[in-house]
Chain A
Amino acid sequence: MLEIKNLEAGVDGKTILNGIDLSINAGEVHAIMGPNGSGKSTLAQVLAGREGYDITAGSVNYNGQDLLELGPEERVHEGFFLAFQYPVEIPGVNTTYFLRAAVNAVREHHGKEELDAVGFLKLMREKIELLELDESLLKRSVNEGFSGGEKKRAEILQMALLDPKFAVLDETDSGLDIDALKIVANGVNQLRRKDNAQLVITHYQRLLDYIVPDHVHVLVDGRIVKSGTKELALELEERGYDWITAVQAA
Chain B
Amino acid sequence: MSSESEVIDQYVEQEYKWGFYTDVEADTLPPGLDENVIRHISAKKEEPEWLLEWRLKAFRHWQTMKEPCWPQAKYEPIDYQAISYYSAPGAKDKDRPKSLDEVDPKLLETYDKLGVPLHERERLAGVAVDAVFDSVSVGTTHQEELAKHGVIFCSFSEAVRDHPELIQKYLGSVVPYTDNFFATLNSAVFSDGSFVYIPKGVRCPLELSTYFRINAAETGQFERTLIVADEGSHVSYLEGCTAPMRDENQLHAAVVELVALGDAEIKYSTVQNWYPGDEDGNGGIYNFVTKRGVCRGARSKISWTQVETGSAITWKYPSVILRGEESVGEFYSVALANLAQQADTGTKMIHLGKNTRSTIISKGISAGKGQNSYRGLVQMGKNATGARNFTQCDSLLIGSRCGAHTFPYIEVKNPTAKVEHEATTSKIGEDQIFYCNARGIETQDAVNMIVNGFCKEVFSELPMEFAMEAQALMDVSLEGSVG
Contact = CB atoms under 8 A, between A and B. Distances in A.
A85 B432 CA distance: 14
A101 interface: yes
B426 A71 contact: no
B440 A98 contact: no
A44 B212 CA distance: 53
A102 B2 contact: no
B198 to A, nearest CB: 36
Contact of A88 (B1, B435, B440): B435
Given A91-B426, A92-B454, A93-B450, A51 B438 contact: no
Given A51-B430, A52-B2, A93 B449 contact: yes
B1 A92 contact: no
Interface in B238-256: none
B453 A141 contact: yes
B438 A72 contact: yes
Contacts of A109: 440
B432 A51 contact: no
A73 B453 contact: no
Interface string B423-464: 000100111101111111111010001100110100000000
A87 interface: yes
B29 interface: no
Contact of A73 (B1, B426, B441): B441
Nearest to B445: A101
The interface centre, meaning the residue of B2, B6, B7, B429 with most chain A CB atoms within 10 A of its CB, is B2
B1 A52 contact: yes
Contacts of B430: 51-52
Nearest to B7: A51
A145 to B, nearest CB: 15
Which one of B430, B441, B450, B454 has the greatest number of beta carbons of chain A within 10 Å?
B441
A137 interface: no
Identify the interface centre among A76, A81, A92: most chain B CB within 10 Å of its CB: A92
Chain B at the A interface: SS class: helix
Interface residues of A, number: 34
B450 A84 contact: no
A75 B298 CA distance: 61
Given A52-B1, A72-B434, A105 B441 contact: yes
Interface residues of B, number: 25
Contacts of B439: 76, 98, 101-102, 105, 158, 162
Q: From B429, B432, B456, name the one whose CB has the most chain A CB atoms within 10 angstroms.
A: B432
A49 B437 contact: yes
Interface in A63-116: 71-73, 76-77, 81-82, 84, 87-94, 97-98, 101-102, 105-106, 109
A77 B440 contact: yes
A188 B450 CA distance: 29
A178 interface: no
Contacts of A93: 449-450, 453
Contacts of B7: 51
Nearest to B396: A92
A50 B2 CA distance: 10
A48 interface: yes
B453 A90 contact: yes
A57 interface: no
A179 interface: no
B1 A12 contact: yes
Contact of A71 (B436, B437, B454, B456): B437
Contacts of A73: 437-438, 440-443
B450 A90 contact: yes
Contacts of B453: 90-94, 141
B437 A72 contact: yes
A118 to B, nearest CB: 19
CB-based closest 4 A-B pairs: A92-B453, A52-B1, A76-B440, A72-B437
Given A51-B434, A71-B437, A73-B438, 14 more contacts: A49-B438, A52-B430, A73-B443, A82-B438, A87-B435, A88-B435, A89-B432, A90-B432, A90-B435, A92-B454, A92-B456, A101-B445, A101-B449, A102-B441
